[in-house]
Structure 1
Amino acid sequence: MELDKILSQGLSSWNIDITENQQNNFKIYMDTLLEYNKVMNLTAIEDPEEIYTKHFLDSLSCLLVDELKTVGLKAIDVGTGAGFPSIPIKIMRPDIKMTMLDSLNKRINFLKEVGARVGLDNAEYLHSRAEDAGSNPKYREQYDIVLSRAVASLPVLLEYCSPFLKKGGYFICQKGPAAKSEVEQAKKALAVLGCSLEYIKEIDIPYTDLNHNILVIKKISNTPKNYPRKAGKPSKEPLI
């Protein structure tokens, strides 16, 4: 299937329109991803159609969440890796002020190159561990939205991500079929970190058999000062 149609028809099924310029930016993104993937580990998916479905459309499913529809949001993608979901979202929603955080500088350099090639404005590329940036007053409790498609368990992700959220902000977390059991596992973390699960949105990704879940978690009180704990501690001793 033509790559343009995968995006245009897939997004149309979600009542989202895409421009020719945005289509071109996704092609540039894919080409840059495949170019850099030859020399560094960015993605195990190298088939163009699968990049469009399993990376681009999957990332863009976040746009179906009502909390992301406000204009001019300030967002951060924690553990962004190769830029998912932040860069696809930023291409479609240039009004969002997007910070992309990753602990590996070579990935940050890749993201800067993508941003330069597709002309991303209001984008920040942050080389840091989540635990360190979340304790920094420049970033702590400064964001309306935190995004994550990272593979850590929900209790760990909550400790990484919730410190960045303003009170009243939302953590939009992409998870697979085990999302509901992860929420059960994260009850303590939610309570300790001042968060509350608002709802789970089930998503079918067009042209795949993937059934994903988006967790929408609200920050209801400020993060206690002793969180996040020092680098490495959240993953070694999760709040469960």
Structure 2
Amino acid sequence: MQPEQFKKALEALGFTVTKQMMDQFARYVQLLQEWNKKINLTAIDETEEIYLKHFYDSVVVARYVAFQDRDTLIDVGSGAGFPSLPLKILLPSLQITIIDSLNKRINFLKLLVEELALDDVELFHGRAEDFGQNAAFRERFDWATARAVARMSVLSEYCLPFVKVGGAFLALKGDKGEEELLIAKRAIQTFGGQVEQVAHFELPLEAGERSVIQIKKIQKTPKKYPRQAGLVNKKPLEN
């Protein structure tokens, strides 16, 4: 997907895309490619693939979710900034917090945020299990996002503790999202969530199926969750 195709695809979805936004996306690509030679940020490194499988795949979430002005969003295990930073470029009023367990990635994101002149973005190095038990982060966010970093039962334990009651966790998945949901029902309910909607869409240029799973937070997460580091992955709550 060429940059101009990307712009037209977003405009077709109803978004206003300015020159400044396109300049920010272009600089994002440059920095991602430069840093990817030094540290492993992404296997998707070609410019056209970045626009399609990172940028478009991230921002299309806003087609299915009603983000409000000044909403707070925490991105768990964001890697090279997906989906939160493309969303921030397109919707500048979002207040973004990113947690990632690898400090090298956080260093890349610090430079990226500075280069793109993005306001209201906070970056933290550490594990979701630890931050989820921290009162400064727990149940403080309108939205939590995660993009295919683990299966739904695990992601729910990582993400739902951050979401305030009435907010939602958004999982960006491939074509296996519904299958993962089937074995994650117990986990979602245990952590205070309820499936709100599952939206399916095809990436342009026949680049594959995707789904956005929205889990509404309907009650507080019990204090013992998330469990300590390691247990979430080793012993997920599954049906």
Q: TM class, shorter-chain normalised?
A: over 0.9
Contact 1:6 1:53 in 2 (8 A): no
| Number of the residue aligned with 2:85 | 87
TM-score, scaled to structure 2: 0.97
| Number of the residue aligned with 2:48 | 49
Q: Identify which range, 8-17 or 144-153, moves more after superposition.
A: 8-17
Shift of 1:150: 3.3
Distance, in Å, in 2 between the alignment partners of 1:25 and 1:186 is: 37
Contact 1:67 1:170 in 2 (8 A): no
| Number of the residue aligned with 1:76 | 74
- Across the aligned residues of Structure 1 and Structure 2, the Cα RMSD in angstroms comes to 1.0
Distance, in Å, in 1 between the alignment partners of 2:179 and 2:210 is: 14
Contact 2:194 2:218 in 1 (8 A): yes
Contact 1:53 1:208 in 2 (8 A): no
Distance, in Å, in 2 between the alignment partners of 1:173 and 1:61 is: 13
Distance, in Å, in 2 between the alignment partners of 1:216 and 1:4 is: 29
Match of 1:184 among 179, 182, 185: 182
Aligned pair count reads 238
- Show the 5 A alignment for 1:139-154: 139-154=137-152
Unpaired runs of 5+ in structure 1? Answer: none
Shift of 1:191: 1.4
- Show the 5 A alignment for 1:33-48: 33-48=32-47
SS at match of 2:75: strand
SS at match of 1:75: strand
Distance, in Å, in 2 between the alignment partners of 1:199 and 1:116 is: 35
One-letter amino acid matched to 2:180: E
- Show the 5 A alignment for 1:5-154: 5-68=4-67, 70-154=68-152
Q: Identify which range, 13-22 or 72-81, moves more after superposition.
A: 13-22
Distance, in Å, in 2 between the alignment partners of 1:46 and 1:231 is: 31
